[in-house]
C-alpha cells in the first residue's frame, strides 16, 4: 500500500507554471519554424547559393534540414501504410508491387537525382520549391523502402484468429487498421522509422549540395554546410557541423523516438503483462500539462468516431455481406486508375531508357560489368561483417528494455549521423595505416547499412512474447543451444528484412564510399558506385543510365533468388502466434 501511495502522489502533481510556459513557447517555436521553412521554399531561385560557414547560421540550416527530413518521413509513412496494405490485400497487385519495390530500392540516389532536379527546377523556375522538393524526394527514397517491407512483413504475421475476430465484429478497414494491424506492426514500423530517418540523413550532403556538371543546385542546410566546409578544408566549420548534427539527432531521439518506443511496448503480444516501463520525468510532466491535455482532448474528440468499435453485426446481417459492401465500385475504379497511371509511366520510362542505352558502346558495358563484380564483393563483405555484431547486440537490446533506454541515445546518434560527413576523416585514418580505398570502402559502406540489421533484429527481439522467453528459461537453454533453438528462429523474420534493406542500402552506399573527395584530392576505388559518381559529375547520362540499370538488375536478382526465399521460409517456419 505504501508503494501505491508513493506512485499515486506524483500523478496528481501539476507541472510548474514555467513548464507550462515552456510548452507554449515550444509550440510557438514550431509554428515560427514552419513559417521560416515556407519562406525558404518561396525564395527566388538563384544560380548559386552562398553557404555561410559561421556558427550563427547553423540553427537555421539545422531547421531547414530537419524540416526536409520530417516532410519526407510523413510521405514515407503514408506510402508505407497504403502500398504495403495494397500489396497484402490485393493478390493481383502484389505480383507487381513487390518487384517494383525491389527495383526502386535498388536504384541508387544518383539514378533519381539528376533527372528529378532538372525536371522540378524547370517546373518551378522562379522559386526554390523545385530544389526543395527534389531534396525531400531524395530523402524519401532513402527512408521508405525498408519501412514498406517491414510493414508488409508485419501484415503477413498478423495471427489469423485476430483477423477472424475483426470480421466477426464487422470491422471496417480503418477499425482493422487501428485495432489489429497497426498495434501488431507498431514496434517493427517504429524501429524501421528510426533507421529510415538515419537512411535519409545518409545522403544529406549529396542532396543538399548537388552538382551536375557545371550546374550548381545547392540549398542551405547542414549537408551543404558540411560539403562546403570539406571542400574548403575548414576544420572548425566541420566540427561545428558535426556538433550541430549531433544536437539535432539527440533532441529528436529524446523528444520523439524514445517516447514512441515506450508507447509501442504496450502492443507487445503477450499472455501476461510485461511490467511497467519507466518514462522520463519530462515526459510525465508533459502528459500532465494543461496545454497538452487541452490539445490532445481536441484531437481525441475529432478522432473518436474513427476509433469507435462498431460491435458485432446483427445476426440477420451476414458478415460476408458487410465486408463486401465496404469494397465498392469506387475502390475498384481508383485501383484501375492508379494501375493505368503506373503502367503508362513505366512505358514512357522504358522508352526513354532504351534511347539512352543505345548510345552506350560494348567497351562501356564490359567496364560496367567488371566494376559490378568488385562492388558486389564489397557489399557482401559489408553485410556479412555487419551481421556478426548487430545480431547479438540487437537481441540483447530487444530483450532488455532498461538497457535499451540507456543505449538508444548512443545507437540512434551513431546510426542517424550522416556518415559521408566524416568519410574524409575515416579515409585519412585508413591511408595513414597503409590502406587504400579499395578495401577501406568496406567499413565506409558498413557505416550506412549495418543499422538496418540492428534495428530490425532489435524490433524482432523486443516483440518476442514473455511466455516464450520464460519457456526457454524453464528448459534451461543456454549457449549456442539457446541461440539455435530459440533466439535465431525468433528474430529470423526481422533479420531477413534487415538483410534485404541493408543489401539495397549497401549498393547505394557504394556511390559515396568508392568515390571520396577531400578538398582538391579525389580518391576512387574500382567499382560500380565510383562509376556512377563519375558519370554524374561528367553529366554522361547514357553511362549513368547503363550503370544504374545494371545495379538495379543485380539487386533485384539477388532479392528474387535469395532474400525472398529466406523471407518465405522465415514467415512459414519462424513465426510466433501464427
pLDDT at 207: 80
Grid cell at residue 122: 524547370
pLDDT in tens, 517-547: 776 788 889 999 899 988 888 878 889 889 9
pLDDT at 379: 93
Residue 576 pLDDT class (50, 70, 90 cuts): low
Chain-wide mean pLDDT for the chain?
Answer: 79
Residue 192 clears pLDDT 90, i.e. is over it: no
CA–CA separation, 42 vs 24, rounded Å? 27
Helix axes 91-106, 488-513, angle to 10 degrees: 40
Residue 175 clears pLDDT 50, i.e. is over it: yes
Q: 541: buried, middle or exposed (CB in 10 Å: 19+, 13-18, 0-12)? A: middle
Residue 571 pLDDT class (50, 70, 90 cuts): confident
Query: Pick the residue with more confidence: 365 or 433?
Result: 365
pLDDT at 562: 87
pLDDT at 368: 92
Query: Pick the residue with more confidence: 205 or 132?
Result: 132
Whether residue 186 contacts residue 264, with contact meaning beta carbons closer than 8 Å, is answered with yes
pLDDT at 1: 35
Residues in Cβ contact with 274 at an 8 Å cutoff, skipping those fewer than 6 apart: 265, 268, 466
pLDDT in tens, 87-107: 888 888 888 888 788 777 777
CB atoms within 10 A of CB 394: 27
pLDDT at 371: 93
CA–CA separation, 464 vs 487, rounded Å? 9
pLDDT at 3: 38
Query: Pick the residue with more confidence: 72 or 12?
Result: 72
Which of 267, 266, 263, 303 shows the shortest CA–CA distance to 287? Answer: 263
Residue 8 pLDDT class (50, 70, 90 cuts): very low
Residue 556 pLDDT class (50, 70, 90 cuts): confident
Residue 10 pLDDT class (50, 70, 90 cuts): very low
Give me the numbers of helices (H) and strands (E) for the chain, helices first please.
27, 4
pLDDT at 280: 58
Which of 294, 262, 300, 292 shows the shortest CA–CA distance to 26? Answer: 292
Residue 431 pLDDT class (50, 70, 90 cuts): confident
pLDDT at 341: 75
CB atoms within 10 A of CB 38: 10
pLDDT at 293: 62
Q: What percent of the chain has pLDDT over 70?
A: 81
Q: Three-state SS across 30-49?
A: HHHHHHHHHHHHCCCCCCCC
Which residues in 149-184 are b (16+ Cβ under 10 Å) and which e?
A: bbbbbbbbbbeeebeeebeebbbeeebbbbbbbebb
Residue 548 clears pLDDT 70, i.e. is over it: yes
| pTM for this model (two decimals) | 0.73
Query: Pick the residue with more confidence: 382 or 31?
Result: 382
pLDDT at 9: 43
> Would you call 273 helix, strand, or coil by DSSP?
coil
CB atoms within 10 A of CB 271: 10
Angle at 521 between CA 451 and CA 58, to 5 degrees: 55
Ranking 386-400, 401-415, 514-528 by mean pLDDT, the lowest is 401-415
Task: Give the sign of the dihedral formed by CA 206, CA 207, CA 208, CA 213.
Answer: positive
CA–CA separation, 576 vs 268, rounded Å? 12
Residues in Cβ contact with 478 at an 8 Å cutoff, skipping those fewer than 6 apart: none
Q: What percent of the chain has pLDDT over 90?
A: 10
Largest CA distance in the chain: 82
CA–CA separation, 297 vs 480, rounded Å? 51
pLDDT in tens, 494-524: 898 889 888 888 888 898 889 887 767 888 8
Summarize the confidence of residues 169-173 as an average pLDDT. 79
pLDDT at 295: 62
Summarize the confidence of residues 160-169 as an average pLDDT. 81
Residue 118, CA distances (Å) to 171, 404, 508 in order: 46, 44, 21
Whether residue 228 contacts residue 209, with contact meaning beta carbons closer than 8 Å, is answered with yes
pLDDT at 377: 94
Residue 263, CA distances (Å) to 14, 147, 183, 304 in order: 22, 19, 10, 19
Grid cell at residue 278: 519507466
Residue 86 clears pLDDT 80, i.e. is over it: yes
Residue 271 pLDDT class (50, 70, 90 cuts): low
pLDDT in tens, 296-330: 656 665 655 655 555 555 544 444 444 444 445 66
pLDDT at 312: 55
Domains of the chain, first to last:
2-15+45-266+281-327+359-573 (1.10.3720.10)
Grid cell at residue 186: 507498431
Q: Tell me, what DSSP letter sits at residue 314? A: P
pLDDT at 414: 77
Amino acid at each position: 500500500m505504501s508503494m501505491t501511495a508513493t506512485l499515486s502522489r506524483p500523478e496528481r502533481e501539476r507541472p510548474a507554471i514555467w513548464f507550462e510556459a515552456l510548452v507554449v513557447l515550444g509550440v510557438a517555436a514550431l509554428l515560427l519554424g514552419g513559417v521560416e521553412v515556407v519562406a525558404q521554399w518561396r525564395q527566388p531561385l538563384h544560380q548559386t547559393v552562398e553557404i555561410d560557414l559561421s556558427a550563427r547560421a547553423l540553427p537555421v540550416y539545422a531547421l531547414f534540414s530537419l524540416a526536409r527530413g520530417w516532410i519526407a518521413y510523413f510521405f514515407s509513412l503514408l506510402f508505407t501504410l497504403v502500398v504495403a496494405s495494397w500489396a497484402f490485400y490485393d493478390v493481383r497487385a502484389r505480383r507487381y508491387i513487390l518487384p517494383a519495390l525491389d527495383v526502386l530500392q535498388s536504384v541508387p540516389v544518383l539514378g533519381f537525382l539528376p533527372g528529378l532536379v532538372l525536371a522540378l527546377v524547370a517546373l518551378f523556375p522562379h522559386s526554390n520549391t523545385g530544389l526543395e522538393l527534389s531534396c525531400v524526394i531524395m530523402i524519401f527514397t532513402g527512408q521508405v523502402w525498408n519501412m514498406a517491407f517491414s510493414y508488409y512483413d508485419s501484415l503477413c504475421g498478423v495471427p489469423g484468429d485476430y483477423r477472424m475476430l475483426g470480421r466477426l465484429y464487422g470491422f471496417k478497414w480503418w477499425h482493422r487498421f487501428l485495432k489489429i494491424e497497426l498495434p501488431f506492426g507498431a514496434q517493427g514500423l517504429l524501429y524501421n522509422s528510426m533507421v529510415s530517418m538515419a537512411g535519409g540523413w545518409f545522403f544529406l550532403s549529396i542532396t543538399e549540395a548537388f552538382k551536375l556538371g557545371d550546374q550548381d543546385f545547392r540549398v542551405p542546410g547542414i549537408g551543404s554546410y558540411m560539403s562546403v566546409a570539406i571542400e574548403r578544408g575548414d576544420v572548425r566549420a566541420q566540427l561545428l557541423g558535426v556538433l550541430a548534427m549531433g544536437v539535432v539527432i539527440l533532441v529528436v531521439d529524446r523528444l520523439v523516438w524514445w517516447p514512441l518506443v515506450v508507447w509501442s511496448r504496450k502492443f507487445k503480444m503477450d499472455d501476461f503483462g510485461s511490467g511497467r516501463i519507466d518514462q522520463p520525468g519530462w515526459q510525465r510532466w508533459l502528459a500532465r500539462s494543461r496545454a497538452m491535455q487541452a490539445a490532445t482532448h481536441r484531437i481525441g474528440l475529432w478522432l473518436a468516431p474513427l476509433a469507435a468499435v462498431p460491435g458485432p453485426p446483427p445476426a440477420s446481417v451476414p458478415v460476408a455481406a458487410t465486408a463486401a459492401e465496404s469494397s465498392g465500385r469506387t475502390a475498384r475504379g481508383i485501383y484501375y486508375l492508379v494501375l493505368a497511371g503506373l503502367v503508362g509511366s513505366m512505358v514512357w520510362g522504358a522508352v526513354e531508357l532504351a534511347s539512352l542505352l543505345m548510345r552506350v558502346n560494348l567497351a562501356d558495358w564490359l567496364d560496367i560489368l567488371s566494376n559490378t563484380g568488385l562492388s558486389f564483393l564489397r557489399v557482401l563483405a559489408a553485410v556479412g561483417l555487419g551481421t556478426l555484431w548487430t545480431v547479438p547486440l540487437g537481441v540483447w537490446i530487444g530483450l532488455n528494455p532498461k538497457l535499451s533506454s540507456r543505449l538508444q541515445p548512443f545507437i540512434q546518434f551513431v546510426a542517424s549521423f550522416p556518415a559521408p560527413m566524416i568519410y574524409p576523416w575515416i579515409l585519412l585514418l585508413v591511408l595513414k595505416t597503409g590502406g587504400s580505398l579499395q578495401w577501406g570502402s568496406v567499413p565506409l559502406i558498413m557505416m550506412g547499412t549495418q543499422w538496418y540489421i540492428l534495428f530490425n533484429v532489435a524490433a524482432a527481439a523486443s516483440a518476442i512474447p514473455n511466455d516464450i522467453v520464460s519457456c526457454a528459461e524453464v528448459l534451461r537453454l543456454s549457449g549456442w543451444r539457446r541461440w539455435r533453438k530459440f533466439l535465431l528462429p525468433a528474430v529470423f523474420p526481422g533479420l531477413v528484412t534487415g538483410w534485404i534493406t541493408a543489401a539495397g542500402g549497401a549498393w547505394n552506399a557504394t556511390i559515396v564510399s568508392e568515390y571520396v573527395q577531400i578538398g582538391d584530392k579525389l580518391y576512387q576505388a574500382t567499382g560500380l558506385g565510383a562509376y556512377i559518381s563519375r558519370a554524374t559529375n561528367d553529366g554522361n547520362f547514357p553511362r549513368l543510365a547503363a550503370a544504374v540499370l545494371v545495379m538495379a538488375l543485380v539487386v533485384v536478382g539477388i532479392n528474387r533468388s535469395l532474400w525472398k526465399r529466406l523471407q518465405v521460409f522465415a514467415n512459414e517456419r519462424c513465426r510466433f502466434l501464427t
